[in-house]
Structure 1
Amino acid sequence: MYITGLPDILLEPIIRDALREDLGRAGDVTAAAVIAPKARFQAEFRSRAAGVSAGIDCARLALSLMDPQIRFEIVKPDASPVVAGDVIARVEGNARAILAAERVALNLLSHLSGVATLTKTYVDAIDGLPAKIACTRKTLPLLRALQKHAVRCGGGFNHRYGLDDAILIKDNHIAICGGVTKALEKAKAAASHTMKIELEVDSLDQLRAALPYGPDVLLLDNFSLKELEEAVKLAKGKAVLEASGGVNLETVRAIAETGVDVISVGALTHSATVFDIGLDAA
């Protein structure tokens, strides 16, 4: 999978707000008190564990916003495998600027590398099977684009980015509409020729009712393994089949073996452990 970084114009508002939060009303009073204004500093972002890197552009931008003259050398681009001791990036520049940006840079780099590393663990767990691992919209507010990028760095795939890029009919939509068929009829009437329709079903009966209406994707919510196998027999080739609910590292391979096309995992973004990275003097 070819991974391209997110453009700075998308990242910059997030990084600026994060720096503004940390700098507060007076800036870095510690650095101002103990470090000479023109002091220089050379440092390295180093991995302290094995995993997958993600978020290096966030670190670069945090530093460059504090000092545009800072030199930032990327050694391990996003999606690179790393082990403990690996240098991810090298930085050299004004010491006060580097220390002011250090925590924002590390927070984002460590969090996003954690998302990428967890995603890679899930991808490896179903190695050899055709199913894809996908994230969900269960992301941290305002960090969705970054977290979804990190999922791709780990070898996963992205579900929809928001409420506007695909129709996803869930249980509450069905309840309000008065049933699966009514919800699908309305969605078909409203959708443009480029808009896909996904329907969440929680039973085989709902799946059977939906198939004649030709949804593009069927989300099989909390199906047992036996039910997933039956759903694949009924609908394979008629719609993309996405399994969701009850997915963890102990269950994901058995779910993939049923023949579903996609397995969505909210934990990739809402439960990833921070990846241990430090900024050490070179």
Structure 2
Amino acid sequence: MNKPKERIFIVGDSEPTYRVAANTLGAGQETVLLTANTNQALSTIEGIRGSNIHLLTLQADWPDTILCDVAIAITAERMASKRNVIQQLACRLDDDAVIAINTDSILLDELQMGMAQPHRILGLNWSYPADLTLFLEIIANAQSDPASIDRLATMGREVWGKDPYTVHGGFSTRARMMAAWAREAIYLVENGYASMESIDRACRNDAGHYLPFAGNFRYMDLMGTYAYGMVMSDLNPELAKITRIPDDLEEQLIDYASRTGERDTVFRRFSEEIRQLILTYAHETIDH
């Protein structure tokens, strides 16, 4: 097949999907977006500055063939949904096209299992809003094609304006770190040690202050690892191991979220400003 270079195929039905499309469009790439909600997708993308809407093709049905170099899927965190989308893509793409799908809790090995060309299937996680954040997590394993990994990492860094990193263990490190943080927050609120507002302030005014500048390991270097070792030796045995959000707390979370006002508009403005701040204090690149 003769296919246009750097033409991106994206499939998904959520706002995060449409913001990924806005990111690829903003980078000047022809983008085909397959979604059941074409009107919502168009409205979202049109509302994002510099999204080059003329490069967008919207589709509501699967085409017979997909003439793209990279296919990006964003689905619900369900095994059947993800495997179905991968199969739909695999039978329509050229053999050398990369299939990249979001996955937080499902191992890449499980998504590759039984697929004709497992080496070209990679995990690819984004952060909201995908058109502004620097985050891009590539998930690979022993079966993964090194050229496909490099292809995604290079595109993320040089075309999409991301600061990508690659995890070679077949699972998301972002998801594990965020889950540990959320688990402890839920435990503290559920047991009456702190309110949701207090937890949010603690995270925002401490970790939220330094994380745009330094990750966990750089922060330990700045603060001193001895203090961390002393705290963890006493605290770790007491940390939560819960596996679900209690029903009553879930209702409180819904009510708490509804009180945040014009969060989308404010958060977008914040995201634009924090991106510039992070870029001002860029760290040295270690992992390509």
In the superposition, the TM-score normalised over structure 1's length comes to 0.25
Structure with a larger share of its residues in strand: 1
- Please tell me whether Structure 1 or Structure 2 has the larger radius of gyration of its CA atoms: 1
In the superposition, the TM-score normalised over structure 2's length comes to 0.25
Pick 1 or 2: higher relative contact order, CA cutoff 8 A, min separation 6: 1
